[in-house]
Amino acid sequence: MTAVVLVGSTGMIGEAVARRLTQPDFDPVWLLVRRERGQPHSHHRIRVVDFDNLAAIEDLDLTGDSVICALGTTIRKAGSQAAFQQVDRDTVVRTAQWARALGASHFLFVSSLGADAASRNFYLRTKGEAEHALQSLGFEHLTIVRPSLLLGERSEFRIGERLGMVVGALLKPLLSGPLRRYRPVEADQVAAVLVHQAASPGGPAVNIWESERISRFRPDSR
């Protein structure tokens, strides 16, 4: 049995991960959410958390071998670059620090294709800074997934993202050779990697999954 905590279960990847965390191999399964939505699965245990109050995370008393962090927002939704950084970098890092204190041996983080702390792109730099901070915390296992544009359904409608998915799906067959790394990837495929790794980490202590590798993943592969 693997005890799992999922932080951020309402985004496209988070929802896909939650659907997969109904297997008997995982117990308990804690979902940390901003607010309860609908009837939770009987296998899930829900904790409502104010993610704007970073100290609230540290007060949680849970058990977890693996902590999956699928937190993320957009600059438009956050309202400013500073607010975006608070969610996608600062809250992620504080969550990881809490997970470390909790005794979790494995932290799994949803980053982005092209994440780089030295990038000129604000979004990619923020993701890269989060990755850099996570690697300094000393987890026994750290899994970082870097998906390209995501395909799939989300409960929250975002017009820009929906248009991007349509264009991405049309361009996917044309992206070959060195451009294959930019091919869109199904959110459920990313979730499959996260859940599989949460159950059986394997690989190096810091295991980075680029988007192309995510797309190739099958349950019997690494």
DSSP 8-state secondary structure symbol assigned to residue 62: -
Signed CA dihedral, 78, 84, 86, 87: sign only: positive
Nearest alpha-carbon partner for 195 in 8, 26, 12, 10: 26
Give CB contacts under 8 A, 24+ apart, made by 85-90. Answer: 85/126, 86/52, 87/51, 88/126, 88/127, 88/130, 89/126, 89/127, 89/129, 89/130, 89/133, 90/54
C-alpha 213/C-alpha 215 separation (Å) is: 5
User: Would you name the residues annotated as active-site residues?
Assistant: 123, 127
